Amino acid sequence: MLFHSSNGVDYNYLTSVDAKNNANIIAYYNYIHNEFAQYNYYKLIAVDVNGAYSEFQKVAYVSVNNPELNWQHIDNQIIINSSENYNFKLIDVSGRIVQSTELTTGYNRINLDNRPTGIYIILLENNYNTVNGKIFIPGR
């Protein structure tokens, strides 16, 4: 069961998803929440077939004011306009962090001149938000 709160205290039920009933594999579930508040907190409660349940202690927090990710191929840079400070990580397809830096409020330019052609994941994190996206760095 998935629950939502706009204040981190009062939660409302959003949805339930049937289990895949196979504890031997990793199962992925998703839900698209279309009615955002400015601040959004989510918590998950897993219910076993016998009725027992586990409430996950780590609450997910999502802010609608996420930074914008703008990829500019001409300058071979990522430009991020952020309303908050973030830790930036560029991750290759094998999961290695290939570049990291601290971002400050406002416009941040990250040079990608030395990166090989490929698909990368951008990960931005701070104490309140986690934002990610994929980019393609083309050949030169």
Of the two residues 54 and 40, the one the predictor is more confident about is 54
Q: Report phi then psi at 71, rounded to 5.
A: -95, 125
Calculate the CA 113 to chain-centre distance.
25
d(CA 8, CA 5): 5
Q: Where are the domains of the chain?
A: 2-63, 68-137
pLDDT in tens, 129-139: 888 877 877 76
Q: What is the pLDDT of residue 92?
A: 92
Architecture of the domain delimited by 68-137: Sandwich (2.60)
Q: What's the CA gap between 39 and 98, in Å, rounded? A: 31
Q: What integer pLDDT is reported at residue 71 of this predicted model? A: 45
Whole-number pLDDT of residue 75: 58
Task: Please tell me whether the overall predicted TM-score, pTM, comes out greater than 0.85 for this model.
Answer: no
Please state, in angstroms and rounded to a whole number, the distance separating the CA atoms of residues 78 and 139. 15
Res 30 pLDDT > 90: no
